[in-house]
Chains A and B, each alone.
Chain A
Amino acid sequence: MFHLALRMLLGDRAKYIMLVGGLTFSALLMTQQNGVFQGLLAWTTSHMRNMRASIWVVDSRVEQVNETKALRDTDVNRVRSVAGVDFAMPLFQGVLKARAAEGSEKLIQMIGIHAGTLFGRPTKVLEGELEQLRMANTVAIDELAAERLGSGVGRPLRIGDNFEINDREARVVAICRTERHFFGYPYVFASYDQALQFAPRQRKMLSMILAEPRPGMTPEEVARNIQAETGLAAYTVPQFEKSTISWIWRNTGIPASFMTTIILGFIVGIAIAGQTFYSFVLENLRHLGALKAMGASNGLLSAMLLFQAMTVGIIGYGMGLGLTALFGFAVAENGQPPFKLQPEAILRTFAAILLISGLAALLGIRKVAKLEPAVVFRG
């Protein structure tokens, strides 16, 4: 009987298309919005993938990687002296004003890294050498910075080009690739001392300390030691990621606005699928009644309706996911908007679509269960 259930469903083209279309739209909305949301969340922790370090030490009031509360210069040595710390290096992090070639001002994300070790350096250098950052007034910029600051010249900045940071000349010695940051500012790397020169003078300038554990010790252990001995906050990368994302959830409206859209996708799915499937059942009520008279049990008819609803659900889900993937490939080119599709999100959407289909079927099942088989004799 199930093949007949399928034929009955496919035979009603308009409703079939409406059902699959509604569920596709719903699945697309849920996965795509979730993907953009997860991508956006990933951007909030991109510092940790652009400046690699196992342990991040910050002021005890700091809960997320994009926030800085200046530390004392002496804190670097205090961290170095903690048991299990292999080495620890200062990091400057600040948003500064740069002047592009044609004179317009752009904000940049300035990162100052220890000149001797270049610890925290970007992982992918496209052109030039980071070692040259040890020379005065030099910077390494990412591709976004090259493009933005080169807008006046009509081409991206190249090695050897100059621009100004806070009225100080900066010469480009390397171009690197970074993962985009949540704030959208391009990355500019300099040696720690050079970065302090670019930045407006303040009493305390040290933003963070990056550290590595001794071989044989885990970052967790060492972070605990640092915290205990210095009173500073020390995070491993997973800890800081978690803390940062949790901060975003607690302090911004971003998750709420995405959740609203995702819930809307769910509701739209229920509305369209429920409504359409119910009218499909109503239109077929005579035939369902005839089947019932002929001896189809409530269980069989319910299973047939469920099968029909699940079929459109799975097709709609597949198409929604396919469209989401297309969207993902399309935006992967320039990475905007951010997009990250996780297996859990895919499974969650699947569950949501099955739930929608199940609810839609349930409305019909209730109707059919109450249907008197004798109705088929009434004109």
Chain B
Amino acid sequence: MNSPAENSPDSSVPAVALRGVVKAFGTGDARTVALKGTDFTASQGELHLVVGPSGCGKTTLLSVAAGTLDWESGTVDVFGTRLNGMPRSRVTAFRRKNVGFIFQQFNLIPTLDLVENVSVPLLLNDVRRREAEEKSAALLQQLGLGGKERKRPTQLSGGQQQRVAIARALIHEPRLLIADEPTSALDRETGHQIMDILAQAARAPGRSVIIVTHDPRTYRYADRLTDMEDGGIAGVYHGQALRDFVSIHH
């Protein structure tokens, strides 16, 4: 599959490092602190799952790591680049180049065909339309959607749509792939197919995949797993500890 555009000279630099991040929503009585001084690290070459009960702050954590949400205090580094104090337009440009997104509801544009949907990140990165569409068609083919390039997303099943979304997230070979509940709208079998593809994508050198999930069936794909609780980290598991965690929760 695709390898990141730019290999880090130092693969020991964490893909994402949050240190003491605080994020609150609302003010006064309506104030909710979603991240309470959270530390979080995702390494390169790993598929990292973030789990925890509803409302514990998983999506908030993911949004901060992806540079789509501002936070109040603490530091955020993505592949060694500090996002603190970076002007919005530079954060946007950083995302454009380095981050791929996969959403729970796929968020494909229904009026565009598959190739057009997939080509968006390339076009945003100033790749010419022809080249962008050729690359997109090739990746769709790799993901088993050959022959459907000119179909609309709504003509596909949920699993197929999520594969298109993955193609869109990977097409510009980002170093960081972010997914929020990518399998929750899918049946069991399709969910596994999607996780297989994402696990494979994570193996590319210099890339990191962070997935928020509710679904214990996906735990076994993790290289590392962060368990969240009420805006903080309850535990980080890998190796044998991770295998134990998975068997307990299965």
Contacts and interface: CB of A to CB of B under 8 A. Distances in A.
Interface stretch (A66-74, A131-139, A285-293, A356-364): A285-293
Given A294-B96, A295-B93, A379-B104, A287 B124 contact: no
Interface in B116-145: 116, 120-121, 123-125, 129
A255 interface: no
A290 B89 CA distance: 16
A296 B124 contact: yes
Given A297-B92, A372-B68, A373-B68, A4 B62 contact: no
B217 to A, nearest CB: 20
A372 B96 contact: no
Contacts of A373: 68-69, 95
A4 B123 contact: yes
Contact of A287 (B59, B89, B101, B109): B109
A51 B190 CA distance: 88
Nearest to A10: B111
A294 B121 CA distance: 7
Task: Name B's interface SS.
Answer: helix
B103 A377 contact: yes
Given A372-B69, A374-B63, A377-B63, A293 B116 contact: no
Interface residues of A, number: 27
B154 to A, nearest CB: 11
B116 A4 contact: yes
A302 to B, nearest CB: 13
B180 A377 contact: yes
A293 B66 contact: yes
Interface in A326-379: 372-374, 376-379
A11 B111 contact: yes
B111 A7 contact: yes
A374 B68 contact: yes
Contacts, number: 82
A8 B111 contact: yes
Contact of B124 (A10, A12, A295): A295
Contact of B59 (A3, A10, A378): A378
Contacts of A378: 59
Which of B104, B107, B129 counts the most A-chain CB atoms under 10 A from its CB? Answer: B107
Contacts of A294: 95-96, 99, 101, 120-121, 124
Given A290-B101, A377-B63, A1 B124 contact: yes
A287 to B, nearest CB: 5
A240 B100 CA distance: 72
Contacts of B94: 295
B113 to A, nearest CB: 8
Given A3-B129, A295-B97, A374-B68, A290 B103 contact: yes
Contacts of A291: 120, 124
A286 B111 contact: no
B234 interface: no
Given A1-B124, A295-B124, A11 B112 contact: yes
Contacts of A8: 109, 111-112
Contacts of B66: 293
B102 to A, nearest CB: 10
Nearest to A373: B68
Contact of A295 (B59, B95, B107, B129): B95
B110 A7 contact: no
B105 interface: yes
A295 B121 contact: yes
Contacts of A1: 120, 123-124
B121 to A, nearest CB: 6
A377 B103 CA distance: 6
Which of A8, A290, A291, A377 counts the most B-chain CB atoms under 10 A from its CB? Answer: A377
A297 B89 contact: yes
A295 B90 CA distance: 10
5 contacts: A4-B109, A7-B112, A294-B121, A376-B68, A377-B63
Given A1-B120, A374-B69, A376-B103, 6 more contacts: A1-B124, A8-B109, A293-B95, A294-B96, A295-B93, A377-B68
- Give me the 4 closest cross-chain CB pairs, A-B, nearest first: A295-B96, A11-B111, A373-B68, A374-B69
